[in-house]
Homo-oligomer: A and B are copies of this chain.
Amino acid sequence: MAESTARRLEPDMSGTPGQNAELSETSWGRSSSRSAKPSRRRESISHTAIVNGAIDVLDREGLDALSMRHLAEVLGIGAASLYWHVGSKDGLLDLVLDQVVGETKIPEPDPDRWQDQLKDVARAQRAMSLRHPWFVRVTLGRIPIGPNSLRHSEHVLAILRAAGIPSHVAVQGYLLLVSAVNGFTIDETGVEDSPNVIDLPRDGETRQHSAEMARDYLAALPPSQFPNMTSLADEFALADTDERFELLIDTFVAGLARHVTKS
């Protein structure tokens, strides 16, 4: 019950330490609290421990399981203590999101490869949302303004600008890309929460089963009223999400490419 502050660093953060300090206290990997002088006294629960604990709970128990009371219990402190550190659950979720955004690395702009680079950015965003199935739902009402989020935006914009896309289209296109990917992954992550539960048999089986249920349901509709739904029931139920995602970024990037100013 006290082993939950570790394990947060598997994905891509390695090799890039300290890249996100000094911009805000929303930083990661340091135990610095909001004052500059090193905290004496006996440790006190750190910002980092709280954020990583929250991510742990989210990843393994799902979004619904993250209550301030439960998180406090996991961390071994009183529920009210959390409020001294993060102000509110909303504030905590802001920190959590920025932390997780920091997992994704964006490459240096290469003007000749901008289309592939942009697709990779989209794929990385989707992969992150699948690693943390709660991410998109938490992101909803929020405007991401943490240091990692800002860096992310900066780097993607750099790619678009280097490609020769006019600034106006670059900004609109970037915003569009993010929302389109989010919209896409919502459907993938919305139904099954907490995929890391105990030992749920790698639910290829479960997914398959519910897909067949859906297909049967659609196929059983009255064909006179639903000629397309019935004849396309297979396509609908068995639609490959990987393929669909590639279709998304393909058409999107192709659409943006029309705005590249020849030079």
Contact = CB atoms under 8 A, between A and B. Distances in A.
Contacts of A225: 151, 154
Interface in A106-154: 137, 140-143, 145, 150-151, 153-154
Interface stretch (A9-17, A33-41, A97-105, A184-192): A184-192
Kindly report how many copies of this chain are found in the complex they form together.
Answer: 2
Contact of A186 (B140, B255, B258): B140
Interface residues of A, number: 57
A176 interface: yes
A175 interface: yes
A142 to B, nearest CB: 7
Contacts of A239: 171-172, 175
Contacts of A256: 251
Interface of A: 137, 140-143, 145, 150-151, 153-154, 157-158, 161, 167-173, 175-176, 179-184, 186-187, 190-191, 193, 214, 217, 221, 225-229, 231-232, 235-236, 239, 243-244, 247-248, 250-252, 254-256, 258
A161 to B, nearest CB: 6
B167 A232 contact: yes
